[in-house]
Chain A
């Protein structure tokens, strides 16, 4: 398999763009936007928190689509896409969880609480971790790909649950950022959004989504290279 020059060039530009965006968003988070009224400096972590969440959400949607497409076409590339998306999705949702815990320590006075939103996010993370366990447990490569695709479709139910739980369970203390909030006008639940906060937030989310796509592209290339080497080894073995 040989990559075309133009594709490699596109990926290189996308990588530069991601780095650039990341630096700008870093600057925006720490310098452009001021500290939030009620929460102070600690609120700055919130941009990364949400950026990582959106990145992982996008990646899990990609994995869902890849799963469906694999079952339809049985083309290996969809399986590679699904695996790459879920690996990266796990990393981004881990960033999401860790930054959330750091934010929660001063604001909720605890690292972790069994709030519905936090619980479902943890379960979502476990579901995709289980996906990797499933892959590791099945030896026959075709069966592994099939099962992985089926499970990535099933596991998406946990993503769905994470998204809707805030609307169904009004007792969550987690702030609802996107869409109408059902929380009462409490201190924690109420994010006073200035223009600068909104701009920074949207920019960070955009940055993280771009970064996740760039990394996904790199990860797939890596997978392809590994396979190329495997195929060559196999060829050598068979012709020896």
Chain B
């Protein structure tokens, strides 16, 4: 589903990504880990088509970035730590607007928006302005927004940032149930600092360190306690260098 070959990205003379190789199969849930400054955000921005790679090859669903970004974008749903929503529009208006941008056919638009609102449990607040929402509700709406056009790939960029315990638990629930992650119909890449959640959701773990993949493996091959150790060992190279 996602293939990355020898991806390099430099800012000026500073190499942020120094040859990343990564392959994510359809239906996999990849936890993409790494300390701040390891190039996680840059990597995600490249996958989203928001940043151009300096060199290397990125294939998403068989389409190449950056040449065929339109096709790639149609298949991506993004949930970030920023809401990516408009404060002064209602929940419904927000979703209708993005449905139009993603070219959800006019006949289905209304139904689709209401199904999504129902699934994230916001149907009672459809006519309320996003400004009045709590952080958790905003994040729920953000998930509805990301799934509106039924994307094959879901990118989650630190989705737990700023959520309280309840909201985070609800997000866990939504990820497994609504996003269809457990059924394996969607490919997911999630960046996070929360190793427990990474282990809980992911089928595979990739750890980015100094602009390269320092570790890659399935979660089935490790126990919950092992992940923090592996993470520290992989990332540790930076601090001891």
Interface positions of A (Cβ within 8 A of B): 140-142, 227, 230-231, 234, 238, 240
Q: Which residues of A contact B13 (CB under 8 A)?
A: 227, 230-231, 234
B12-27 interface (Cβ within 8 A of A):
12-15
Contacts of A240 in B (CB 8 A): 241
> Given the complex, which residues of A lie within 8 Å of B11, measured CB to CB?
140-142
| Least CB distance, B87 to chain A, in whole angstroms | 25
Whose C-beta in chain A lies nearest to the C-beta of B9?
A142
Cα distance, A239 to B241, chains bound together (Å): 9
Contacts of B15 in A (CB 8 A): 238
Count of CB-CB pairs between chains A and B under 8 Å: 13
CB distance from B199 to the nearest CB of A (A): 31
Residues on B with beta carbons closer than 8 Å to the beta carbon of A231: 13
13 pairs, A vs B, C-beta closer than 8 Å = A140-B11, A141-B11, A141-B12, A142-B11, A142-B12, A227-B13, A230-B12, A230-B13, A231-B13, A234-B13, A234-B14, A238-B15, A240-B241
* Alpha-carbon distance between A174 and B15 when the two chains are bound, in angstroms: 53
Residues 82-139 (chain B) with a chain A CB within 8 angstroms: none
Nearest A residue to B18, CB-CB: A238
B-side interface residues toward A, CB under 8 Å? 11-15, 241
Query: Which residue of chain B lies nearest to A239 when distances are taken between CB atoms in the complex?
Result: B241
Q: Which residues of B contact A230 (CB under 8 A)?
A: 12-13
Cα distance, A142 to B13, chains bound together (Å): 11
Nearest chain A CB to B11 CB, angstrom units = 6
Q: Which of B14, B15, B241 has the most CB of A within 10 A?
A: B14
8 more contacts with CB within 8 A, not counting A141-B12, A227-B13, A234-B13, are A140-B11, A141-B11, A142-B11, A142-B12, A230-B12, A230-B13, A231-B13, A238-B15
CA of A238 to CA of B211, assembled, Å: 11
- In this complex, the member of B11, B12, B14 whose beta carbon has the largest number of chain A beta carbons within 10 angstroms is B12
Contacts of A227 in B (CB 8 A): 13
A229 to chain B, nearest CB (A): 10
CB of B203 to closest CB in A, whole Å: 33
Contacts of A141 in B (CB 8 A): 11-12
- Inter-chain CA distance A142–B54, complex, in Å, is 11
For B14, list chain A residues within 8 Å (CB). 234
A108 CB, min distance to chain B CBs, angstroms: 48
Closest to A234 in B: B13
Q: Return A10 CB to nearest CB of chain B, in Å.
A: 28
- A50 and B128 CA atoms in complex are apart in Å by 65
B194 to chain A, nearest CB (A): 28
Q: How far does the alpha carbon of A240 sit from the alpha carbon of B210 in the complex, in Å?
A: 13
Q: Which 3 A-B pairs have the closest CB atoms?
A: A141-B12, A231-B13, A234-B13
Docked pose: A38 CA to B218 CA in angstroms:
90
A231-B11 Cα distance, complex, nearest whole Å: 12
In whole angstroms, what is the CA distance A227 to B14 when docked?
Answer: 12
Shortest distance from the beta carbon of A138 to any chain B beta carbon, whole Å: 12
Q: How far is the CA of A162 from the CA of B168 in the complex (A)?
A: 60
Q: A141–B12 Cα gap in the complex (Å)?
A: 6
Q: How far is the CA of A231 from the CA of B12 in the complex (A)?
A: 9
Q: How far is the CA of A53 from the CA of B12 in the complex (A)?
A: 34
Nearest chain B CB to A7 CB, angstrom units: 23
Report the bound CA distance from A238 to B18 in whole Å: 12
Q: How close is B213's CB to chain A, nearest CB, in angstroms?
A: 17
A240 to B238, CA, bound (A): 11
Question: What's the Cα separation between A230 and B12 when bound, in Å?
Answer: 10
**Complex alpha-carbon distance, A141 and B13, angstroms:** 9
Within the complex, the shortest CB–CB distance from A235 to chain B, in Å, comes to 9
User: A234 — which chain B residues lie within 8 A by C-beta?
Assistant: 13-14
A171 to B11, CA, bound (A): 51
Separation of A210 and B14 alpha carbons in the complex (Å): 36
CA distance A165 to B152 in the complex (A): 57
Query: A63 → chain B, closest Cβ, in Å?
Result: 21
Please, how many angstroms separate the alpha-carbon atoms of A142 and B52 in the complex? 11
**Distance from A144 Cβ to chain B, minimum over Cβ atoms (Å):** 9
A227 to B241, CA, bound (A): 25
Which chain A residue shows the least CB distance to B14?
A234
- Roughly how many angstroms separate A140 CA and B11 CA in the complex, as a whole number? 7
Tell me the complex Cα distance, A238–B238, Å: 10
Determine the distance from Cα of A88 to Cα of B11 in the docked complex, in whole angstroms. Answer: 26
Residue ID in chain A nearest B51 by CB atoms = A142
Residues of B within 8 A of A140 (CB): 11
Chain B residues with Cβ below 8 Å from A238 are: 15
